[in-house]
Structure 1
Protein backbone atom coordinates (compact mmCIF):
# COMPACT_ATOMS: atom_id res chain seq x y z
CA UNK A 1 0.00 0.00 0.00
CA UNK A 2 1.36 3.41 -0.99
CA UNK A 3 0.44 6.56 0.93
CA UNK A 4 0.56 9.97 -0.69
CA UNK A 5 1.55 12.57 1.89
CA UNK A 6 1.81 16.34 1.67
CA UNK A 7 3.41 19.09 3.69
CA UNK A 8 1.73 22.47 3.13
CA UNK A 9 2.28 25.81 4.88
CA UNK A 10 -1.26 27.18 5.16
CA UNK A 11 -2.16 30.62 6.48
CA UNK A 12 -5.84 31.52 6.83
CA UNK A 13 -7.14 28.32 5.24
CA UNK A 14 -7.48 24.64 6.07
CA UNK A 15 -8.97 21.45 4.57
CA UNK A 16 -6.81 21.62 1.45
CA UNK A 17 -7.79 18.72 -0.83
CA UNK A 18 -8.14 17.78 -4.50
CA UNK A 19 -11.47 18.62 -6.14
CA UNK A 20 -12.32 14.98 -6.78
CA UNK A 21 -15.92 13.87 -7.41
CA UNK A 22 -17.63 11.53 -9.83
CA UNK A 23 -18.87 14.53 -11.81
CA UNK A 24 -15.49 16.23 -11.72
CA UNK A 25 -12.73 13.60 -11.34
CA UNK A 26 -9.27 14.67 -10.22
CA UNK A 27 -6.39 13.17 -12.18
CA UNK A 28 -3.47 12.40 -9.86
CA UNK A 29 -0.23 12.89 -11.78
CA UNK A 30 2.87 10.82 -10.92
CA UNK A 31 6.20 9.55 -12.08
CA UNK A 32 6.07 5.74 -12.14
CA UNK A 33 8.74 3.07 -11.56
CA UNK A 34 8.53 -0.64 -12.29
CA UNK A 35 9.33 -2.67 -9.15
CA UNK A 36 10.52 -5.61 -11.27
CA UNK A 37 13.29 -3.99 -13.33
CA UNK A 38 13.43 -0.70 -11.39
CA UNK A 39 13.22 1.37 -14.55
CA UNK A 40 11.53 4.76 -14.39
CA UNK A 41 8.97 5.67 -17.02
CA UNK A 42 10.07 8.85 -18.82
CA UNK A 43 6.62 10.44 -18.96
CA UNK A 44 4.20 11.39 -16.21
CA UNK A 45 1.09 9.23 -15.80
CA UNK A 46 -2.35 10.26 -14.52
CA UNK A 47 -4.73 8.20 -12.39
CA UNK A 48 -8.43 8.78 -11.63
CA UNK A 49 -10.19 6.86 -8.87
CA UNK A 50 -13.34 6.81 -11.02
CA UNK A 51 -11.76 5.14 -14.06
CA UNK A 52 -11.63 1.35 -14.33
CA UNK A 53 -9.29 -0.53 -16.67
CA UNK A 54 -9.21 -4.26 -17.32
CA UNK A 55 -6.13 -6.24 -16.39
CA UNK A 56 -4.98 -8.98 -18.74
CA UNK A 57 -5.74 -12.63 -17.97
CA UNK A 58 -9.17 -11.80 -16.49
CA UNK A 59 -7.53 -10.59 -13.27
CA UNK A 60 -10.15 -7.92 -12.69
CA UNK A 61 -9.97 -4.14 -12.98
CA UNK A 62 -7.85 -1.32 -11.59
CA UNK A 63 -7.81 2.45 -11.81
CA UNK A 64 -4.44 2.29 -13.55
CA UNK A 65 -3.03 -0.58 -15.62
CA UNK A 66 0.47 -0.20 -17.02
CA UNK A 67 2.96 -2.37 -18.92
CA UNK A 68 6.63 -1.56 -18.42
CA UNK A 69 8.27 -0.74 -21.74
CA UNK A 70 11.52 -2.37 -20.58
CA UNK A 71 10.59 -5.70 -18.94
CA UNK A 72 7.03 -5.87 -20.38
CA UNK A 73 5.59 -6.76 -16.99
CA UNK A 74 2.03 -5.56 -16.38
CA UNK A 75 1.28 -3.77 -13.14
CA UNK A 76 -1.63 -1.89 -11.65
CA UNK A 77 -2.73 0.67 -9.07
CA UNK A 78 -6.07 1.42 -7.41
CA UNK A 79 -6.96 4.41 -5.25
CA UNK A 80 -8.67 2.98 -2.17
CA UNK A 81 -10.87 5.89 -1.06
CA UNK A 82 -11.64 9.57 -1.46
CA UNK A 83 -8.80 11.97 -0.59
CA UNK A 84 -8.40 13.15 3.00
CA UNK A 85 -8.39 16.93 3.54
CA UNK A 86 -5.08 18.42 4.68
CA UNK A 87 -5.57 20.27 7.99
CA UNK A 88 -3.77 23.51 8.80
CA UNK A 89 -0.99 23.11 11.37
CA UNK A 90 1.87 25.25 12.66
CA UNK A 91 4.57 24.28 12.12
CA UNK A 92 3.46 22.44 8.97
CA UNK A 93 3.20 18.67 9.38
CA UNK A 94 3.36 15.82 6.89
CA UNK A 95 -0.14 14.38 6.46
CA UNK A 96 -1.58 11.48 4.47
CA UNK A 97 -4.16 12.49 1.89
CA UNK A 98 -4.46 9.35 -0.24
CA UNK A 99 -3.90 5.57 -0.13
CA UNK A 100 -3.09 3.65 -3.31
CA UNK A 101 -2.89 -0.14 -3.68
CA UNK A 102 0.08 -0.62 -6.01
CA UNK A 103 0.89 -3.99 -7.59
CA UNK A 104 4.20 -4.20 -9.46
CA UNK A 105 4.83 -0.46 -9.60
CA UNK A 106 5.63 2.50 -7.41
CA UNK A 107 4.73 6.14 -7.82
CA UNK A 108 7.94 8.03 -7.08
CA UNK A 109 6.98 11.68 -7.59
CA UNK A 110 3.69 13.57 -7.32
CA UNK A 111 2.77 16.65 -9.36
CA UNK A 112 -0.16 18.64 -7.88
CA UNK A 113 -1.80 19.40 -11.21
CA UNK A 114 -5.56 19.91 -11.38
CA UNK A 115 -7.98 21.93 -9.25
CA UNK A 116 -7.87 21.96 -5.44
CA UNK A 117 -10.26 23.13 -2.73
CA UNK A 118 -9.74 24.83 0.64
CA UNK A 119 -11.82 26.35 3.45
CA UNK A 120 -11.25 29.62 5.30
CA UNK A 121 -9.84 28.82 8.72
CA UNK A 122 -11.97 31.34 10.65
CA UNK A 123 -14.59 32.40 8.10
CA UNK A 124 -15.52 29.05 6.56
CA UNK A 125 -15.23 30.60 3.08
CA UNK A 126 -15.08 27.93 0.34
CA UNK A 127 -12.24 28.38 -2.15
CA UNK A 128 -12.38 26.48 -5.44
CA UNK A 129 -10.30 26.07 -8.62
CA UNK A 130 -7.04 26.44 -6.67
CA UNK A 131 -3.97 25.96 -8.89
CA UNK A 132 -0.94 24.52 -7.05
CA UNK A 133 1.08 23.67 -10.16
CA UNK A 134 3.50 26.53 -9.40
CA UNK A 135 3.83 25.50 -5.75
CA UNK A 136 2.07 28.47 -4.13
CA UNK A 137 -1.30 30.25 -4.22
CA UNK A 138 -2.99 33.25 -2.65
CA UNK A 139 -6.47 34.77 -2.59
CA UNK A 140 -8.57 37.26 -0.63
CA UNK A 141 -11.08 36.16 2.00
CA UNK A 142 -13.83 38.79 2.00
CA UNK A 143 -15.49 37.35 5.12
CA UNK A 144 -12.23 37.45 7.07
CA UNK A 145 -11.25 40.79 5.51
CA UNK A 146 -7.71 39.62 5.05
CA UNK A 147 -5.47 38.54 2.22
CA UNK A 148 -3.50 35.37 2.79
CA UNK A 149 -0.78 33.58 0.93
CA UNK A 150 -0.17 29.92 1.90
CA UNK A 151 3.37 29.58 0.62
CA UNK A 152 6.56 27.97 1.80
CA UNK A 153 8.74 30.70 3.41
CA UNK A 154 11.86 28.50 3.42
CA UNK A 155 13.29 29.89 0.13
CA UNK A 156 13.10 33.44 1.50
CA UNK A 157 14.72 32.36 4.77
CA UNK A 158 17.46 30.44 2.96
CA UNK A 159 18.31 33.62 1.04
CA UNK A 160 18.79 35.40 4.37
CA UNK A 161 21.29 32.88 5.79
CA UNK A 162 24.51 34.71 6.83
CA UNK A 163 22.66 38.04 6.62
CA UNK A 164 21.64 40.38 9.41
CA UNK A 165 17.93 39.97 10.23
CA UNK A 166 15.26 41.36 12.52
CA UNK A 167 12.80 38.92 14.13
CA UNK A 168 9.62 40.17 15.81
CA UNK A 169 8.14 37.89 18.47
CA UNK A 170 4.41 37.60 19.09
CA UNK A 171 4.31 39.48 22.36
CA UNK A 172 5.72 42.52 24.18
CA UNK A 173 7.04 44.40 21.14
CA UNK A 174 10.12 42.18 21.44
CA UNK A 175 12.59 41.89 18.58
CA UNK A 176 15.80 39.93 18.12
CA UNK A 177 18.49 41.30 15.83
CA UNK A 178 21.47 39.27 14.67
CA UNK A 179 23.03 37.16 11.92
CA UNK A 180 20.89 34.27 10.64
CA UNK A 181 23.07 31.16 11.01
CA UNK A 182 20.63 28.41 9.97
CA UNK A 183 17.05 27.17 9.84
CA UNK A 184 15.89 23.58 10.26
CA UNK A 185 13.09 21.63 8.55
CA UNK A 186 10.56 23.07 11.03
CA UNK A 187 11.86 26.62 10.38
CA UNK A 188 13.30 27.02 13.86
CA UNK A 189 15.85 29.82 13.65
CA UNK A 190 19.45 30.07 14.91
CA UNK A 191 21.01 33.52 15.34
CA UNK A 192 24.53 34.61 16.25
CA UNK A 193 25.46 37.94 17.79
CA UNK A 194 21.83 38.33 18.82
CA UNK A 195 20.54 41.45 20.57
CA UNK A 196 17.19 41.75 22.33
CA UNK A 197 15.19 44.92 21.66
CA UNK A 198 11.96 45.86 23.44
CA UNK A 199 9.95 48.92 22.38
CA UNK A 200 12.81 50.01 20.09
CA UNK A 201 15.38 49.93 22.91
CA UNK A 202 18.17 47.34 23.24
CA UNK A 203 17.81 45.50 26.56
CA UNK A 204 20.55 42.84 26.36
CA UNK A 205 23.16 41.10 24.21
CA UNK A 206 22.35 37.39 23.95
CA UNK A 207 24.94 35.98 21.53
CA UNK A 208 23.87 32.58 20.14
CA UNK A 209 20.12 31.95 20.36
CA UNK A 210 17.63 29.41 18.99
CA UNK A 211 14.11 30.72 18.33
CA UNK A 212 11.19 28.34 17.85
CA UNK A 213 9.13 29.02 14.75
CA UNK A 214 5.82 29.25 16.61
CA UNK A 215 7.14 32.22 18.65
CA UNK A 216 7.81 34.33 15.54
CA UNK A 217 5.41 36.98 14.20
CA UNK A 218 7.61 38.06 11.29
CA UNK A 219 11.19 38.10 10.05
CA UNK A 220 12.93 40.45 7.65
CA UNK A 221 16.37 41.45 6.48
CA UNK A 222 17.90 44.16 8.67
CA UNK A 223 18.34 46.42 5.63
CA UNK A 224 14.62 46.24 4.72
CA UNK A 225 12.06 48.79 5.79
CA UNK A 226 9.58 47.75 8.46
CA UNK A 227 6.63 45.94 6.91
CA UNK A 228 8.34 45.20 3.57
CA UNK A 229 9.61 41.77 2.70
CA UNK A 230 8.55 40.22 5.98
CA UNK A 231 7.14 36.75 6.34
CA UNK A 232 4.51 36.03 8.98
CA UNK A 233 5.02 32.79 10.92
CA UNK A 234 1.67 31.71 12.41
CA UNK A 235 1.68 29.27 15.27
Structure 2
Protein backbone atom coordinates (compact mmCIF):
# COMPACT_ATOMS: atom_id res chain seq x y z
CA UNK A 1 0.00 0.00 0.00
CA UNK A 2 1.32 3.45 -0.97
CA UNK A 3 0.06 6.76 0.35
CA UNK A 4 0.26 10.10 -1.45
CA UNK A 5 1.05 12.68 1.21
CA UNK A 6 1.08 16.44 0.91
CA UNK A 7 2.68 19.21 2.95
CA UNK A 8 1.45 22.69 2.07
CA UNK A 9 1.52 26.14 3.63
CA UNK A 10 -2.09 27.32 3.39
CA UNK A 11 -2.93 30.95 4.12
CA UNK A 12 -6.66 31.74 4.26
CA UNK A 13 -7.76 28.44 2.70
CA UNK A 14 -8.28 24.85 3.76
CA UNK A 15 -9.52 21.51 2.38
CA UNK A 16 -7.11 21.48 -0.55
CA UNK A 17 -7.86 18.39 -2.64
CA UNK A 18 -7.94 17.03 -6.19
CA UNK A 19 -11.17 17.54 -8.11
CA UNK A 20 -11.98 13.87 -8.41
CA UNK A 21 -15.52 12.82 -9.34
CA UNK A 22 -17.01 10.41 -11.83
CA UNK A 23 -17.89 13.38 -14.07
CA UNK A 24 -14.46 15.01 -13.74
CA UNK A 25 -11.96 12.30 -12.70
CA UNK A 26 -8.53 13.30 -11.46
CA UNK A 27 -5.60 11.54 -13.08
CA UNK A 28 -2.84 10.94 -10.56
CA UNK A 29 0.41 11.16 -12.51
CA UNK A 30 3.47 9.17 -11.42
CA UNK A 31 6.64 7.60 -12.66
CA UNK A 32 6.66 3.89 -11.79
CA UNK A 33 9.25 1.20 -11.27
CA UNK A 34 8.93 -2.57 -11.48
CA UNK A 35 9.66 -4.15 -8.09
CA UNK A 36 10.92 -7.33 -9.78
CA UNK A 37 13.62 -6.10 -12.18
CA UNK A 38 13.73 -2.42 -11.05
CA UNK A 39 12.96 -1.22 -14.57
CA UNK A 40 11.48 2.31 -14.61
CA UNK A 41 8.62 3.08 -17.00
CA UNK A 42 9.96 5.36 -19.73
CA UNK A 43 7.03 7.80 -19.49
CA UNK A 44 4.87 9.08 -16.64
CA UNK A 45 1.65 7.12 -16.12
CA UNK A 46 -1.75 8.37 -14.97
CA UNK A 47 -4.15 6.53 -12.66
CA UNK A 48 -7.84 7.32 -12.19
CA UNK A 49 -10.02 5.62 -9.60
CA UNK A 50 -12.86 5.62 -12.14
CA UNK A 51 -10.99 3.71 -14.87
CA UNK A 52 -11.14 -0.09 -14.69
CA UNK A 53 -8.78 -2.47 -16.50
CA UNK A 54 -8.83 -6.25 -16.55
CA UNK A 55 -5.94 -8.26 -15.21
CA UNK A 56 -4.74 -11.11 -17.40
CA UNK A 57 -5.78 -14.65 -16.56
CA UNK A 58 -9.16 -13.56 -15.21
CA UNK A 59 -7.51 -12.36 -11.99
CA UNK A 60 -9.88 -9.46 -11.54
CA UNK A 61 -9.64 -5.74 -12.25
CA UNK A 62 -7.49 -2.77 -11.31
CA UNK A 63 -7.44 0.94 -12.04
CA UNK A 64 -4.02 0.66 -13.70
CA UNK A 65 -2.37 -2.39 -15.29
CA UNK A 66 1.23 -2.35 -16.52
CA UNK A 67 3.36 -5.02 -18.16
CA UNK A 68 7.08 -4.38 -17.68
CA UNK A 69 8.89 -4.36 -21.02
CA UNK A 70 12.03 -5.70 -19.40
CA UNK A 71 10.87 -8.70 -17.34
CA UNK A 72 7.36 -9.02 -18.85
CA UNK A 73 5.81 -9.15 -15.39
CA UNK A 74 2.32 -7.71 -15.07
CA UNK A 75 1.76 -5.18 -12.29
CA UNK A 76 -1.28 -3.27 -11.12
CA UNK A 77 -2.51 -0.41 -8.98
CA UNK A 78 -5.92 0.46 -7.54
CA UNK A 79 -7.26 3.43 -5.60
CA UNK A 80 -9.50 2.29 -2.78
CA UNK A 81 -11.07 5.53 -1.53
CA UNK A 82 -11.83 9.09 -2.58
CA UNK A 83 -9.16 11.72 -1.79
CA UNK A 84 -9.06 13.27 1.67
CA UNK A 85 -8.94 17.09 1.88
CA UNK A 86 -5.70 18.63 3.12
CA UNK A 87 -6.61 20.78 6.12
CA UNK A 88 -4.92 24.05 7.06
CA UNK A 89 -2.65 23.61 10.07
CA UNK A 90 0.05 25.66 11.79
CA UNK A 91 2.77 24.66 11.36
CA UNK A 92 2.11 22.76 8.10
CA UNK A 93 2.13 18.99 8.57
CA UNK A 94 2.25 16.04 6.22
CA UNK A 95 -1.22 14.61 5.56
CA UNK A 96 -2.35 11.62 3.50
CA UNK A 97 -4.44 12.58 0.47
CA UNK A 98 -5.12 9.19 -1.13
CA UNK A 99 -3.91 5.60 -0.87
CA UNK A 100 -2.94 3.16 -3.63
CA UNK A 101 -2.91 -0.63 -3.51
CA UNK A 102 0.12 -1.45 -5.68
CA UNK A 103 1.06 -4.96 -6.76
CA UNK A 104 4.44 -5.46 -8.44
CA UNK A 105 5.20 -1.77 -8.94
CA UNK A 106 6.15 1.24 -6.89
CA UNK A 107 5.88 4.97 -7.45
CA UNK A 108 9.10 6.98 -7.68
CA UNK A 109 7.72 10.52 -8.17
CA UNK A 110 4.41 12.38 -8.36
CA UNK A 111 3.35 15.30 -10.57
CA UNK A 112 0.39 17.35 -9.20
CA UNK A 113 -0.97 18.22 -12.65
CA UNK A 114 -4.74 18.45 -12.87
CA UNK A 115 -7.45 20.55 -11.22
CA UNK A 116 -7.50 21.09 -7.45
CA UNK A 117 -10.11 22.56 -5.13
CA UNK A 118 -9.98 24.54 -1.88
CA UNK A 119 -12.24 26.50 0.47
CA UNK A 120 -11.90 29.81 2.29
CA UNK A 121 -10.81 29.12 5.86
CA UNK A 122 -13.28 31.56 7.44
CA UNK A 123 -15.61 32.45 4.57
CA UNK A 124 -16.23 29.00 3.10
CA UNK A 125 -15.68 30.44 -0.40
CA UNK A 126 -15.30 27.65 -2.99
CA UNK A 127 -12.18 27.86 -5.16
CA UNK A 128 -12.04 25.72 -8.28
CA UNK A 129 -9.76 25.51 -11.27
CA UNK A 130 -6.57 25.51 -9.19
CA UNK A 131 -4.15 24.16 -11.79
CA UNK A 132 -0.81 25.75 -10.88
CA UNK A 133 0.39 23.35 -8.19
CA UNK A 134 3.06 22.04 -10.54
CA UNK A 135 4.83 25.32 -9.83
CA UNK A 136 4.26 24.65 -6.15
CA UNK A 137 2.47 27.97 -5.74
CA UNK A 138 -1.02 29.48 -6.08
CA UNK A 139 -2.95 32.56 -5.01
CA UNK A 140 -6.42 34.04 -5.39
CA UNK A 141 -8.67 36.69 -3.85
CA UNK A 142 -11.47 35.84 -1.41
CA UNK A 143 -14.20 38.44 -1.94
CA UNK A 144 -16.26 37.23 1.03
CA UNK A 145 -13.29 37.56 3.37
CA UNK A 146 -12.10 40.72 1.55
CA UNK A 147 -8.62 39.35 1.77
CA UNK A 148 -5.98 38.33 -0.71
CA UNK A 149 -4.34 35.18 0.56
CA UNK A 150 -1.13 33.42 -0.26
CA UNK A 151 -0.03 35.55 -3.22
CA UNK A 152 2.52 33.23 -4.70
CA UNK A 153 4.26 32.49 -7.99
CA UNK A 154 5.77 35.96 -8.59
CA UNK A 155 8.38 34.55 -10.97
CA UNK A 156 6.74 35.57 -14.28
CA UNK A 157 6.35 39.17 -13.09
CA UNK A 158 9.92 39.30 -11.78
CA UNK A 159 11.36 37.88 -14.98
CA UNK A 160 9.63 40.68 -16.85
CA UNK A 161 11.39 43.23 -14.62
CA UNK A 162 14.96 42.03 -15.22
CA UNK A 163 17.17 45.00 -16.21
CA UNK A 164 14.50 47.40 -14.98
CA UNK A 165 14.34 49.51 -11.84
CA UNK A 166 12.34 47.94 -9.02
CA UNK A 167 11.47 48.60 -5.40
CA UNK A 168 11.75 45.86 -2.76
CA UNK A 169 10.01 46.28 0.61
CA UNK A 170 11.22 44.20 3.54
CA UNK A 171 8.92 42.65 6.14
CA UNK A 172 10.22 44.79 8.97
CA UNK A 173 11.75 48.14 9.84
CA UNK A 174 9.98 50.18 7.14
CA UNK A 175 13.01 49.35 5.00
CA UNK A 176 12.97 49.20 1.22
CA UNK A 177 15.55 49.07 -1.54
CA UNK A 178 15.47 50.55 -5.03
CA UNK A 179 17.73 49.41 -7.83
CA UNK A 180 17.99 47.61 -11.14
CA UNK A 181 16.98 43.95 -11.05
CA UNK A 182 19.95 41.91 -12.27
CA UNK A 183 18.60 38.40 -11.74
CA UNK A 184 16.44 36.06 -9.67
CA UNK A 185 17.16 32.43 -8.86
CA UNK A 186 14.86 29.44 -8.43
CA UNK A 187 14.30 30.37 -4.77
CA UNK A 188 13.26 33.95 -5.71
CA UNK A 189 16.34 35.52 -4.16
CA UNK A 190 16.74 38.96 -5.75
CA UNK A 191 19.99 40.52 -7.01
CA UNK A 192 20.03 44.31 -7.44
CA UNK A 193 22.62 46.71 -8.82
CA UNK A 194 22.82 50.48 -8.24
CA UNK A 195 20.84 49.74 -5.08
CA UNK A 196 19.76 52.44 -2.64
CA UNK A 197 18.43 51.91 0.87
CA UNK A 198 15.41 53.79 2.23
CA UNK A 199 13.96 53.66 5.76
CA UNK A 200 10.53 55.15 6.37
CA UNK A 201 10.69 56.51 2.80
CA UNK A 202 13.87 58.47 3.59
CA UNK A 203 17.11 57.91 1.67
CA UNK A 204 19.83 56.28 3.79
CA UNK A 205 22.72 55.21 1.57
CA UNK A 206 23.97 53.94 -1.80
CA UNK A 207 24.76 50.23 -1.60
CA UNK A 208 25.77 49.24 -5.14
CA UNK A 209 25.15 45.55 -5.81
CA UNK A 210 23.21 43.55 -3.20
CA UNK A 211 21.45 40.20 -2.80
CA UNK A 212 18.13 40.06 -0.93
CA UNK A 213 16.92 36.73 0.40
CA UNK A 214 13.34 35.92 -0.61
CA UNK A 215 12.18 35.21 2.94
CA UNK A 216 12.93 38.84 3.89
CA UNK A 217 10.65 40.28 1.18
CA UNK A 218 7.17 41.67 1.83
CA UNK A 219 6.52 42.92 -1.71
CA UNK A 220 8.23 43.84 -4.96
CA UNK A 221 7.12 46.23 -7.68
CA UNK A 222 8.50 48.00 -10.69
CA UNK A 223 9.27 51.64 -10.00
CA UNK A 224 6.46 53.94 -11.20
CA UNK A 225 4.09 50.98 -11.66
CA UNK A 226 1.86 51.85 -8.71
CA UNK A 227 0.42 49.75 -5.91
CA UNK A 228 -1.30 47.30 -8.27
CA UNK A 229 2.12 45.99 -9.28
CA UNK A 230 2.91 44.76 -5.77
CA UNK A 231 3.74 41.09 -5.41
CA UNK A 232 3.95 39.78 -1.87
CA UNK A 233 6.29 36.93 -1.08
CA UNK A 234 6.14 34.40 1.76
CA UNK A 235 9.00 32.53 3.33
Same fold (TM over 0.5): yes
Q: Are residues 1:231 and 2:217 paired?
A: no
Residues 16 and 118, structure 2, Cα contact 8 Å, conserved in 1: yes
Contact 2:169 2:218 in 1 (8 A): yes
Distance 1:40 1:197 in 2: 53
Aligned pairs, how many?
228
TM (norm. structure 2) is 0.68
Q: Any gaps of 5 or more consecutive residues in structure 1?
A: none
- Residue 34 of structure 1 and its aligned partner are, at CA, apart by 6.1
State the Cα distance separating 1:189 from its structure 2 match: 2.7
Shift of 1:183: 3.3
Distance 2:7 2:188 in 1: 13
Query: 1:86, CA displacement in angstroms?
Result: 6.7
Residue 170 in structure 1 maps to residue 171 in structure 2:
yes
What secondary structure does 1:117 align onto? strand
Pairs within 5 Å for 1:37-186: 38-41=40-43, 45-48=46-49, 53-57=53-57, 61-67=61-67, 73-79=73-79, 82-83=83-84, 85=86, 87=88, 97-102=97-102, 103-104=104-105, 106=107, 110=111, 112-114=113-115, 116-121=116-121, 123-132=122-131, 139-147=140-148, 150-186=151-187
Unaligned runs of 5+ in 2: none
1:180/1:128 Cα in 2 relative to 1: closer, same or farther (>3 Å)? closer
- Deviation (angstroms), 1:149: 7.2
- String of CA shifts for 1:122-170, please: whole Å, max 9, x gaps: x242414334179787654233113557541122223334443210123
SS in 1 for 2:56: coil
The answer on whether the counterparts of 1:18 and 1:26 sit within 8 Å (CA) in structure 2 is no
- Are the counterparts in 2 of residues 161 and 180 from structure 1 also a CA contact under 8 Å? yes
TM-aligned CA deviation for residue 109 of structure 1: 5.9
Q: Distance in 2 between matches of 1:88 and 1:184?
A: 29
Deviation at 1:80, TM superposition (A): 6.4
Matched with 1:190 is 191
Q: CA RMSD in A?
A: 4.3
2:158 match: secondary structure:
helix
C-alpha change, 1:197 and 1:139, in structure 2 (3 Å) is: closer
The alpha-carbon distance between structure 1 residues 67 and 230, as it changes in their structure 2 partners (threshold 3 A), is same
Q: What is the TM-score with the length of structure 1 in the denominator?
A: 0.68
Is 1:219 the equivalent of 2:220?
yes
Q: Please tell me whether the aligned partners of residues 112 and 133 of structure 2 are also in contact (alpha carbons under 8 angstroms).
A: no
